[in-house]
Amino acid sequence: MMKHSIAFAILLAIGSPVNAQDANNRQHDVTTCAAFYGLMAKGAAKSGDDALAELMTTSANLAMGLAWGIASTMNMETNTVIERYEMAVASMMSDMAGNWNNTSIIIEKYGIKCQDVVNAGPQR
């Protein structure tokens, strides 16, 4: 039911004529943020902070729900969304040099941006 509600909200928000490039950029940004929150959840779990891990998992799920909803309205291929997610994770892991002690690097780069992206919901 929640997935349907999110998808419906997205359709209402971007169902009217929208610049395809803007929708593509929005989808990319939200997918990148899903990857960021997913990595933050993994890092929090590794450090034993279960409450933060749960919060970050919730944020990752919200962002990914938005990403799938936007992709659906664009008729984007499933593989495109998955590849974007995987590339974002790989890029962030590279930014951290594969070292979880360097999470501050991606927090600085994505933290506030992703908060704004997810809080904006399906539209900017």
Please give the Cα distance from 19 to 23 (Å, whole number): 6
Domain spans in the chain, listed from the N-terminal domain onward: 21-117
pLDDT digits (tens, 9 = 90+) for 60-113: 999 999 999 999 999 999 999 999 999 999 999 999 999 999 999 999 999 999
Q: What are phi and psi of 11, to 5 degrees?
A: -60, -40
Distances 2 to 7, 33, 39, 94 between C-alpha atoms, Å:
9, 20, 23, 34
Distances 47 to 23, 61, 86, 90, 101 between C-alpha atoms, Å:
36, 21, 23, 21, 10
What's the average model confidence in pLDDT over 31-40? 97
Q: The whole model's pTM is what?
A: 0.82
